[in-house]
Chain A
Amino acid sequence: MDAKKGLRGIFRRFLDVSDEEPSPARYRALRTDITVLMLLITIIPLCLMALINYHQYQSALKSEIVSPMKALVNKTKHSFELFLAGRLSTVRFVASAYSYEDLADENKLNRIFRVLKQEFRGFVDLGVIDSNGLQVSYAGPYELKGKDYSEQDWFQHLKVSDVYISDVFLGYRRFPHIVIAVKHIEPSSGRSWIVRATIDTGRFDDLIASMGLDPQSDAFLINPQGVLQTNSKFYGKVLDSFPGVVPPLSHESNVIDETDAKGRDVLIAYTYFAQSNFVLMVVKPKAEVLRAWYTLKSELLIVFLISVVVIVGVILRLTRMLVDRLEESDRKRELALREMQHSHKLSSIGRLAAGVAHEVNNPMAVINEKAGLMKDLIEFTQNFPDKEKFLSQVEAIIQAVERCRAITHRLLGFAKRMDVEIEILDLNQVVKETAGFLEKEALYRNIRLELDLAAHLPRIASDRGQLQQVFLNILNNSFAAVDDGGRVGIATWEKDIDTVGVTFIDNGCGMSEETLKHIYEPFYTTKKGAGSGLGLSITYGIVKKLGGDIEVQSKVGQGTRFMVYLPKKPRERSEK
């Protein structure tokens, strides 16, 4: 439930397009959320896959290793049991095929023993014991006739069972042997006797050798008490105690994981024999057996770790990029919105200003004329009482009107900066027209106005009115800068394939470096009281809006050069 809520929270934050100022904390939280979410949905399945794979591979590999071990143990067990069963049935045959008298006769017994030794490997001796445990006859290398076995365990065992197979023991010749004893009861007479054979266990070693184990592996027999019944490669000689736990009883072949006495991790395959007290054990070191598995495991781990590192890296990077992009676009959106609002505000201010300026203009003109008339009347009338006083009042009115004029001019400056109307125009013509404006002033003040217009200047797409405003503003400045009898020059030229240039040059008073730094700043003026300080600021704004550029060079006392660069085609409107 909580996770669900958390997810929904993340998505809400993702989709949150509210207008409130997005804080850095919000992006940090978003980044964390996305990172965690993406890590979860990528790493969890990866981990699951890795785990599942791990277990599948493990079980597959194990069964691949374990099954052959089991099979080998089973096969060998069968060989052992076959061997034991063969010897057992031979002894049983001797016990039942011959009468007690025959067996008690040592000559006969010796003959039987010789035949046995001929036919079957491993028989060491053969003896017959009566029901009291007394050895009645013996064929073999020792003098055992007359020995009393009545107190021995195996004899007791045979009282309840027909067959006895002993554990391995070392006989007098220091060879490991086992004893197989069979009790026979003559059905007719109820008489019983025991035939006891000692068998060399060299055959066991043959059977184990036939398993063909690799040098790191071991196979041996133990008894349930943990005593080795054959030599072991690693765990001791025959009849040594097996240094480990005897596995639990199982007649099926079984595999267990163990740590052996040498500290090696081993797989032990074992099985208990059905007829005898032997446990066959095959010990394989895990390192050997599972080498493939370990290789696979480490490869799996490496692949997993690399994937995790790559995923984490990619996610972190991706998230950072994503959130940065988001932040950037949010910021841009915010900026665009603000700019739009600003320009809306400006344009409505501009429209309002234009309206006000125009409306105020006419009454101002009336006031101006009325005051002018009053002034005229006072001036033209002889002996007007308090003439000077009245004249100064009227002059004050006219001054006030002049101030209003400056204000409305300023307001209109704003309005002028608005809408652009692009048309194809001849720049030279625009220059000529604008210059024509000032020809009269040039005439009065004896200023040389020189035009140097490029003959084949390409036509450009721009706004006629705005350009005139620009040129007029610059020319006004030039005219203000030059003394009577000065020189103002205008030249047009093609700067490059996309741009045309207009140069305005004068030999006027020039500007200081300090002034140059500020000329485009609004309300900065050197014409004390006369200028609005908006002319060049507006000019700059217009040129920029038309996609052009403006440059100025000036030296105090030498003159000023303005260069206006205009694109032949207006720039894409994307910036607007």
Chain B
Amino acid sequence: MEGLKVLLVDDEEEFVSTLAERLRMRGIETGTAGDGEQALKSISEDPPQLVVLDVMMPGLSGLEVLRRVRSEHPHIPVILLTGIGGTREGIEGMRLGAFDYLMKPLAIEDLISRMRAALAASRGGA
């Protein structure tokens, strides 16, 4: 996973920082953003290879962020994080072009394997 750069977007500070640290421990360069605005800004300044995006956020919603990312940076795959049972949002997100969706709380192994699949798909697609 060397050289992989991802952006974690979630309004839960503790969650996002801890997850980022764990990913970094696994050699994944991980940036964080606390809300949608910040995320969009960060993406345009320093585009990551992949975005992990929480759907339920105050302010700009995850789906809105997803829509913009898909239109502005169509090559960046997005994995959605939803709350338990957020099937509806998840499916909506898939329709908007998210690569996959995961439910919180999640096992880090799952996340990493989905990230791998997403990158493989985007490279293969590109």
Contact = CB atoms under 8 A, between A and B. Distances in A.
Contacts of A436: 94
Contacts of B91: 433-434, 437, 465, 468
A365 interface: yes
Interface string A371-397: 011001100100000000000000000
Given A362-B12, A372-B18, A376-B25, A416 B85 contact: yes
A370 B87 contact: no
A373, A409, A413 interface centre (most CB from chain B within 10 Å): A373
B25 A364 contact: no
A366 B18 contact: yes
A395 to B, nearest CB: 12
Given A365-B15, A369-B19, A465-B88, A405 B105 contact: yes
Contacts of A380: 25
A440 interface: yes
Given A465-B88, A468-B91, A366 B15 contact: yes
B117 A369 contact: no
B25 to A, nearest CB: 5
A533 to B, nearest CB: 16
Interface string B17-30: 01101100100000
Task: State which size class the interface on B falls in.
Answer: 20 to 34
Interface in B82-103: 83-85, 87-88, 90-91, 94-95, 100, 103
A415 B105 CA distance: 19
A408 B82 CA distance: 13
Contacts, number: 86
Given A358-B56, A376-B22, A440 B100 contact: yes
Given A373-B22, A376-B22, A376-B25, A365 B85 contact: no
Contacts of A469: 87
B14 A437 contact: no
Contact of A366 (B12, B90, B113, B114): B12
Contacts of A357: 83-85
B106 interface: yes
Given A369-B18, A434-B91, A440 B85 contact: no
Given A358-B56, A365-B104, A373-B21, A433 B94 contact: yes
Given A368-B106, A380-B25, A361 B14 contact: no
B14 A366 contact: yes
B63 to A, nearest CB: 14
A361 B84 contact: yes
A380 B100 CA distance: 29
A103 interface: no
Contacts of B88: 465, 468
Contacts of B103: 405
B117 A415 contact: no
A369 B25 contact: no
B94 A437 contact: yes
Nearest to A413: B85
A38 interface: no
Contacts of B90: 437
A372 B15 CA distance: 11
B14 A440 contact: no
Contacts of A415: 85
A139 interface: no
A444 B19 CA distance: 24
B108 interface: yes
A228 interface: no
Interface in B55-90: 56, 83-85, 87-88, 90
A468 B15 contact: no
B73 to A, nearest CB: 22
A412 B84 contact: yes
Contacts of B94: 433, 436-437
A143 to B, nearest CB: 149
A112 interface: no
Contacts of A409: 84-85
A368 B87 contact: no
Contact of B83 (A361, A413, A465): A361
A536 to B, nearest CB: 16
B81 to A, nearest CB: 8
Interface in A463-509: 465, 468-469, 472
A370 B14 contact: yes
A401 interface: yes
Contacts of B22: 369, 372-373, 376
A361, A365, A416, A436 interface centre (most CB from chain B within 10 Å): A365
Interface of B: 12, 14-15, 18-19, 21-22, 25, 56, 83-85, 87-88, 90-91, 94-95, 100, 103-108, 113-114, 117
24 contacts: A357-B83, A357-B85, A358-B84, A365-B104, A365-B106, A366-B18, A369-B18, A369-B19, A370-B14, A372-B18, A373-B18, A373-B22, A376-B22, A376-B25, A405-B84, A405-B105, A408-B84, A409-B84, A433-B95, A436-B94, A437-B94, A465-B87, A465-B88, A469-B87
Counting from the closest, the 5 A-B pairs by CB-CB distance are A412-B85, A368-B105, A369-B18, A365-B104, A361-B83
Given A361-B83, A409-B85, 11 more contacts: A365-B105, A368-B104, A368-B106, A369-B19, A372-B18, A373-B21, A377-B25, A401-B105, A405-B105, A415-B85, A472-B87
